Structure 1
Amino acid sequence: MKIAMVVEHANPLPAHKGEPSGADSVHIAALSRHLAKLGHRVTVYVRRQDPEQPERARMGRGVNVEHLAAGPARPLSEDNAAEHTGAFAALLSERIAEDTPDVLHAVGWTSGLAAITAASGVDTPEPLPVVQTFHSLNVAERRAGLAARPDRARIEAAVAGRADAVVVNSDDQRFELARMGVPRNRVSVVPFGVDADQFSPEGATTAETWSPRKKGRTRVVTVADLSHGGAEVLIDALRRLPEAELTVVAGPAQVEVPLNEDARRLELHAKEAGVEDRVALTGPLSRKELPRLLRSADVFVSGAAYEPYGGAVVEAMACGLPVIARGTGSAAHAVVHGTTGTLLRASRPDAIARAVRTMLGEPTMSTAYGIAGVDRAASRYAWERVAGETEQVYRRVCPEREAELPRAAGADAD
């Protein structure tokens, strides 16, 4: 099967420290490679963000990346990139007319708009099927207290209504799509995956990118988008946990911590809370460094009001950490309450501190959570399974190709 993956805003090719940076880039890189291992040909269409990027690049066997020159050749914010979606869609239409795929798979709302527009401009005997992945929906973000984006919400609803199939990360998002009127049989829950070979309980736990643990302290670790908050509530919780220290990994965007306004604000917050000596803030860590940090910790805590991807939570589970998170979004799908961790009704400092004390006060329970988390991450979230479930979505929108596709085991179980 020829798959055209449309990702206007991200690039799966190595960027920072020889690897993709950002959750969407990691997702596309892993998914496309594993689809290729299943025998498919994948072309990823992205917007050119650097004048040095070639028009076409090979990412691996069966996977190519094409850079479309829509807008300035530099990274843009989501709002600014959306201004060039029309130009991106026009170039995409030209490319898929030259090399027509069996299915278009768009990731993100601007990519979905581009894919649907491009598909409608290509003359084929049958309409090109479009699969749409949403890692987050603005209606769900608003319910979690994040900013309203009315224009984006309208486009998301329109794209979801036009797509032949929709893929989301969690049952929460499937519920939101049902409220929009999207039939449930057109929506599949396929989570963000994890490399269980890289993220595992076994391996080194030391590195020089973070401060060494102080003797006798409990290490709490989190991965937080500094611009969206979530780390502040953990700092406030730290005031109630005098025996603990907190390591905050900035992500998913590339951040120069010493120069970043959000990082400086967070450091000031820690100082005002009187816990600056127990808070360490790192920049984004490589995929090699992050597992080493996770394995050095006692517990992973997400203070985010809304967890769209859930990748950091699953990676922590894969490294054997018990997890504490708010029971919304992808975290609620990943964490089995009372089995792999604790889900909270709200991300309040007192609730987080109480959950950390309870978990670490019962070492047997904490260890059991870690063991169960490793098993769940490896069985439910392996990229091989994620690719197999994605292939099953393609089967449903391309029934005429089903006989040509290899069977992937365990596609629809949870």
Structure 2
Amino acid sequence: MSRILMLSWEYPPLLVGGLGRHVHALAGALTEAGHEVTVVTRHCSGTLREETIEGVRVVRAPEDPPVFETTGGDLLAWATAFNHALTRAALRAVRSARARGRRYDVVHAHDWLVAHAAMTVRDQLDAPLVATVHATESGRHQGWLPDAHNRTIHDIERWLCAEADRVIVCSEYMRGEVIRLFGVPPERTRVVRNGVDALRWRARPRAVAAARARFAGVDGPLVSYAGRLVYEKGVQHLLAAVPALRDRFPGLRVVIAGDGPYREELELRSGPPVTFAGFLTGHELTGLMAASDCYVVPSIYEPFGMVALEAAAAGTPVAVSATGGLTEIIEHGRTGVRFPPGDPAALTDAVAAVLSDREYARSLALRARARVVEDYNWHSIATRTAAVYDSVRARPGLLPHQTSPPLLTIPRVLVG
């Protein structure tokens, strides 16, 4: 069994997207399997907090003052200060473990936002480093890195992948992306798909009834989306399809749950059948999914698409764009329907196929939920992740790729 020091920039109850839910579920499943897991993450209060939750040791580092404002998506100043706080908290956890005669076997970093802290702690422990790349900056911008901070994030991702003994990705699509973008040797990559706790996403009847009462009309179907409101999630294409869907299904209602920098612009594009519900969690979110006649994932870029599996676990038929990892987890006509990304007309036809045939929709939902239970349970995901840890624990020293630092793009500065 392994002792794992896991670093993540989000962890419940502080959630931004799917990464925090992934780390939480993985840490819990590893603990249930007998591993010792410490998660070092951030905390918005002014004091460091340590607690044990469901067997997982959680160290929450307060953000260093001053509070950095982020503009235009530039997180670099904030990320630098955050990594300092995270490093300090992680080293405290290391010292505490040593005082108890214990040693961490593996450092596991989740995405670029914890890269600097992860490598500092790795060096202090002389332990192997495993990195999970949940998404890439290039992918989020469809291959275009418009500003200096985007290119810097891309370089940090490349640095993290170059330093890691193993790089975990959530789909074959993402495996190809990190190999192509960062030159990671194929033998150092591992595909470990995301998991879903099917029981957690089974909504209570009371929550379903509340969602129907709040969002659904009396004479038409309910279509929903939940996630971050950013360009690459493709919500703009769902909104573009609403008029045509409303023509086919006059009483149709659409709910957009979530928040993000794109919300204001999306709201300006929407009409009366669309409700922006804000950020929903817990029973409100599962209730909305289960109450929906179709759940839509209209992403332009989606490394995996865990939310599609969560909706399937809630018993809802799903319509997803045929991009990234979504094509690997949703089989068209069997566990859901697919449509080309960025195509509102095709999205309309796919959703209409679900809404117009209740038996077809029910068969899609039943097969999808069965597949979630069988193939995407967290016990299996934890077993595969632990196998990655085992593959790096016996390393004799630095791997060949770690003998020299990777080349980073250093901007030229003109002086005088």
- Fold match by TM threshold 0.5: yes
Kept in 2: contact 1:206–1:293 (CA 8 A): no
For residue 186 of structure 2, what is the aligned residue in structure 1?
184
> CA separation in 1, counterparts of 2:355 and 2:203?
18
For residue 408 of structure 1, what is the aligned residue in structure 2?
none
Amino acid at match of 1:358: A
For residue 403 of structure 1, what is the aligned residue in structure 2?
none
| CA 1:392–1:241: 2 relative to 1, 3 Å | same
> CA separation in 1, counterparts of 2:25 and 2:88?
25
Shift in Å, 1:132: 0.3
For residue 217 of structure 1, what is the aligned residue in structure 2?
220
> CA separation in 2, counterparts of 1:193 and 1:381?
5
> CA separation in 2, counterparts of 1:186 and 1:322?
36
> CA separation in 1, counterparts of 2:21 and 2:61?
20
| CA 1:75–1:343: 2 relative to 1, 3 Å | farther
Per-residue CA distance 1:337-366 (angstroms, 9 max, x = gap): 222112222222111111112233333332
Shift in Å, 1:333: 2.7
Kept in 2: contact 1:200–1:374 (CA 8 A): no
Does residue 1:58 correspond to 2:52, yes or no? yes
Shift in Å, 1:25: 2.2
Per-residue CA distance 1:304-357 (angstroms, 9 max, x = gap): 211245221111111222222222233223212222112222222111111112
Shift in Å, 1:74: 6.1
Shift in Å, 1:201: 7.2
Which sections of structure 2, spanning at least 5 residues, go unmatched?
Answer: 98-102, 396-416
Shift in Å, 1:225: 1.6
Q: Which of 247, 255, 278 is residue 247 of structure 1 equivalent to? A: 255
Does residue 1:143 correspond to 2:138, yes or no? no
SS of residue in 2 equivalent to 1:280: strand
Q: Which of 352, 377, 385 is residue 380 of structure 2 equivalent to? A: 385
Amino acid at match of 1:181: G
The equivalences for 1:302-321 within 5 A come to: 302-308=297-303, 310-321=305-316
SS of residue in 1 equivalent to 2:194: coil
For residue 327 of structure 2, what is the aligned residue in structure 1?
332
RMSD: 2.6
Kept in 2: contact 1:134–1:167 (CA 8 A): yes
| CA 1:72–1:386: 2 relative to 1, 3 Å | farther
> CA separation in 1, counterparts of 2:212 and 2:351?
25
> CA separation in 1, counterparts of 2:43 and 2:82?
12
| CA 1:329–1:349: 2 relative to 1, 3 Å | same
For residue 71 of structure 1, what is the aligned residue in structure 2?
64
Kept in 2: contact 1:50–1:74 (CA 8 A): no
Shift in Å, 1:84: 1.8
Which sections of structure 1, spanning at least 5 residues, go unmatched?
Answer: 254-260, 401-414
Amino acid at match of 1:300: Y
For residue 256 of structure 1, what is the aligned residue in structure 2?
none
Amino acid at match of 1:138: E
For residue 173 of structure 1, what is the aligned residue in structure 2?
174
Greater mean alpha carbon deviation, residues 279-288 or residues 338-347: 338-347
Amino acid at match of 1:66: V
For residue 267 of structure 2, what is the aligned residue in structure 1?
267
Shift in Å, 1:221: 0.8
SS of residue in 2 equivalent to 1:372: helix
SS of residue in 2 equivalent to 1:328: coil
Does residue 1:43 correspond to 2:10, yes or no? no
Kept in 1: contact 2:223–2:293 (CA 8 A): yes
> CA separation in 2, counterparts of 1:145 and 1:326?
21
| CA 1:86–1:199: 2 relative to 1, 3 Å | closer
| CA 1:26–1:224: 2 relative to 1, 3 Å | closer
For residue 128 of structure 2, what is the aligned residue in structure 1?
129
Kept in 1: contact 2:311–2:318 (CA 8 A): yes
Kept in 2: contact 1:360–1:366 (CA 8 A): yes
For residue 94 of structure 1, what is the aligned residue in structure 2?
91
Q: Which of 235, 238, 249 is residue 231 of structure 1 equivalent to? A: 235
> CA separation in 1, counterparts of 2:204 and 2:121?
46
Kept in 1: contact 2:17–2:227 (CA 8 A): no
SS of residue in 2 equivalent to 1:239: helix
Q: State the percentage of identical aligned residues.
A: 27
Shift in Å, 1:184: 1.9
TM-score by length of 1: 0.82
TM-score by length of 2: 0.82
> CA separation in 1, counterparts of 2:264 and 2:88?
41
> CA separation in 1, counterparts of 2:3 and 2:32?
13
SS of residue in 2 equivalent to 1:240: helix
> CA separation in 2, counterparts of 1:372 and 1:74?
48
> CA separation in 2, counterparts of 1:324 and 1:108?
28
SS of residue in 1 equivalent to 2:365: helix
The equivalences for 1:254-293 within 5 A come to: 262-270=262-270, 275-276=271-272, 278-293=273-288
> CA separation in 1, counterparts of 2:68 and 2:328?
32
Amino acid at match of 2:36: R
Kept in 1: contact 2:195–2:381 (CA 8 A): yes
